[in-house]
């Protein structure tokens, strides 16, 4: 639910898009940033990607 709210606020309705194609093209860079580079407070400042890749806690 949090992901959906954030997606709507920061990607879907963050700015007016000229077309559906333009909006569709904008989702990939936004999603990559959200998952690969953006720290998330709910997972102790990790990115979702780093958290998923370290579910067992073996990586430092």
Report CA-CA distances (Å) from 11 to 21, 29, 54, 56: 14, 10, 27, 31
Cα 17 to Cα 20: distance, rounded to the nearest angstrom: 7
| Percentage of the chain modeled with pLDDT above 70 | 88
Model-level pTM?
Answer: 0.73
pLDDT at residue number 4? 95
Asked if pLDDT for residue 58 goes beyond 80, the answer is: no
Q: Where are the domains of the chain?
A: 2-52
Asked if pLDDT for residue 51 goes beyond 90, the answer is: no
């Amino acid at each position: 639910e949090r992901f959906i709210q954030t997606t709507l606020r920061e990607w879907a309705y963050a700015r007016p898009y000229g077309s559906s194609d333009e909006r569709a093209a904008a989702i990939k860079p936004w999603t990559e940033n959200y998952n690969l580079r953006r720290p998330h407070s709910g997972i102790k400042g990790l990115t979702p990607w780093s958290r998923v890749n370290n579910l067992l806690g073996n990586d430092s």
